[in-house]
Amino acid sequence: MLTSEQLQDIKQLQIRCENFDDINLKLNWDMLQNRNNKLDDFFYYEEDILIGFLALYGFGDTYELCGMVHPDHRRQHIFQDLFKQAILSLNNRTFHKLLINVPGTSTSGKGFLSSIEAAYDFTEYEMKWHEQPLTIESDQVSLRNASQKDIDYIIELDEKCFSVIHNDAVTYTKNLFKESGLGNLMIENNGQTVGKIRVQRLENQSGIYGFAIDPSFQSKGIGRTALSLTVLEEAKRTKDIFLDVAADNSTALKLYESSGFRTIYSQDYYRYPLR
């Protein structure tokens, strides 16, 4: 478990790096705030000031890595040292993929990638909702809180809709419910469960992700109505609403754009070869 002081240090460093580089770092704060005892976080302090941080995020058999170094302390091999520590810690774990997450416009991040053997894998777009009228096209579509009984179906949807490896889907979904069942919603159409959507609330903003409609119920307007219901509910609670979508998911991208979401930045993922 990270201490409140460590979390505050990470937040301050994140703000400094984002402002300097004009980027947005994806540090998965919901996971940072619910860490267990694994060695997933790596710190570099000088005189009690955090100047380097790297985090690992486990999703089943896949790990993601993201980090940062204070702008005034770059080109001192700090991130390389943190990266080596992280790789060493992974030697004692069982997994099949390591993805390095870098903001699409990060010059320093791309510079680091050029020094290691990492291959581009995919791009994820962060979108923000711009308020516009939304219509509820069907009164048969509704949302409900997910329960333990929904876990198997959530896993199935991740496999069908996102091509997630089964073990990854199992681990990630069970961890979500273990940390907090809040925010996991199921989509129903005429009383039948046909999809899922997750809402994460942090401070004065909401994030939407994991949005999936069972392929056999797609192209029926269910997804559009479910998204509208979610956005309208979150608009009552928070100022800003965000969501993530993979670059190759053109159908979802068009749905989000027509519902008022606009791309604000991108995150590039690179696959690091396993030895």
Domain boundaries along the sequence of the chain:
4-115, 128-266
Q: How many Cα atoms sit within 13 Å of 203 on the Cβ side? A: 3
> How many Cβ atoms sit within 10 Å of the Cβ of residue 79?
24
High-pLDDT (> 70) share of the chain, %: 97
Please say if the pLDDT value at position 152 is more than 80: yes
Mean pLDDT value across residues 108-134: 91
Q: In this predicted structure, what is the pLDDT of residue 17?
A: 97
The tens digit of pLDDT for each residue in 155-207 reads 999 999 988 888 888 888 887 787 665 688 999 999 999 999 999 887 788 99
Residue 145 has pLDDT above 90, yes or no: yes
Residue 55 Rama label (left phi>0; alpha psi -120 to 50; beta) = beta
Split at pLDDT 50, 70, 90, the class of 143 is very high
192-202 β-sheet, strand order: 41-46, 49-59, 62-69, 97-103, 261-272, 119-129, 240-246, 205-213, 192-202, 184-189, 141-145
Q: Which CATH architecture has domain 4-115?
A: 3-Layer(aba) Sandwich (3.40)
**The total number of residues written for the chain in this structure:** 275
- The reported pLDDT for the residue numbered 37 is 65
How many Cβ atoms sit within 10 Å of the Cβ of residue 37? 6
* The pLDDT value given to residue 180: 60
Chain-centre distance of CA 32, in angstroms? 12
Which long-range contacts does 233-236 make (Cβ < 8 Å, 24+ apart)? 233/143, 234/199, 234/201, 234/206, 234/208, 235/129, 235/131
pLDDT, tens only, 80-107: 999 999 999 998 888 888 999 999 999 9
Least confident of 9-13, 64-68, 90-94, 204-208: 90-94
Given this model, what pLDDT does residue 40 score? 94
Given a cut of 90, whether residue 20 has pLDDT beyond it is yes
Segment 9-22 mean pLDDT? 97
- Residue 63 corresponds to which tokens in the numbers above? 């790990």
Under a CB-based contact definition with an 8 Å cutoff, are residues 202 and 190 in contact? no
Give yes or no on whether 4-115 and 128-266 have one common fold.
Answer: yes
**Structure-token pair, residue 113:** 């990638």
**Mean pLDDT of all residues in 51-69:** 93
Quick: pLDDT tens for 208-267: 989 999 999 999 999 999 999 999 999 998 889 999 888 677 788 889 999 999 999 899
Tokens of 8: 């505050």
Question: What pLDDT is attached to residue 49?
Answer: 96
Tokens representing residue 150 in the block: 């929904």
Pick the CATH number of 128-266 from 3.40.50.300, 1.10.10.10, 3.40.50.720, 3.40.630.30: 3.40.630.30
